[in-house]
Chains A and B, each alone.
Chain A
Amino acid sequence: MPDTQTRTATVRIPTPLRSYTDGQATVEATGTTVSDVLSDLVQQYSDLQSNLYTEDGTLRQFVNIYVNDDDIRYLDGPDTAVEDGDEVSIVPSIAGG
């Protein structure tokens, strides 16, 4: 299978962002990397853009992305490959004082 073939991933949406995905807890998005999948996601649901990204287009610091059970920080970051049927999860880290 050529590496450029588009794959469909299931993206898991955290509770408060489901108001922007028609109430759906999971949505499908396509792409060969995490970066592509997230781009497709915000293209489908544009209100997610400002929730996930800062104005300069980087993922907000508290936003963590998992492919299946792995944090992409320990894989290839946004370039992490996505296979057909993978689950991509948007997971917040919480902190404060």
Chain B
Amino acid sequence: MITSPSVIQAIREHGADAYPEEGCGFLLGAVDENGTNRISRVRRVANRQTENRERRYEITPDDYRAAAEEAAGDGLDVVGFYHSHPDHPAEPSETDLAEATFPGYTYVIVSVDDGTSADLTAWSLAPDRSRFRPEEVRLVEATASGQ
């Protein structure tokens, strides 16, 4: 993924704000000619899990449609998701793998240690769905939006 420091900062802040629960949201941007997800901004969404929100998160299809529609208004697409791991490493859990959606989305995970954001990593699901593969996080000052 390619993104800006302000996007990374926004994900970190949401993780800290949601602590001790998991925070989650959408990565909005575009897929470039190399198939890399370029993320222009994020959109927070409520964690729809009804219980154990310290260890689980859920984003409904209605939330997805609303985010996609809003993004489309700015010429953007949903290219991935982020969520936080309160007091847990920034690596995909077994639940993350079991619940994974389509390969090609970027999944960002930020660990939050005692209320402060720590490691931030990006992943994408392998085409055979067997595991998450690490994705490089490349920072540029500003990403082109609206393309």
Chain A residues with CB under 8 Å of chain B are 14-19, 25, 51, 62, 64, 66, 71, 89, 91-97
Q: B55 at interface (Cβ–Cβ under 8 A)?
A: yes
19 A-B residue pairs with Cβ-Cβ distance under 8 Å, sorted by A, are: A14-B78, A14-B102, A15-B31, A15-B78, A15-B105, A19-B104, A64-B61, A71-B61, A91-B61, A91-B64, A91-B65, A93-B58, A95-B49, A95-B95, A95-B99, A96-B96, A96-B99, A97-B22, A97-B55
Q: Is the interface of A mostly helix, strand, loop or mixed?
A: mixed
Name the contact of A96 in the complex, choosing from B35, B56, B60, B62 (C-beta under 8 A): B56
Known contacts A17-B102, A19-B35; is-contact A97 B64 (Cβ 8 Å): no
User: Do the beta carbons of A97 and B94 come within 8 Å of each other?
Assistant: yes
Tell me the minimal C-beta distance from A22 to chain B in angstroms. Answer: 13
Tell me the minimal C-beta distance from A85 to chain B in angstroms. Answer: 19
Question: What is the bound-complex CA distance between A40 and B43, given in angstroms?
Answer: 34
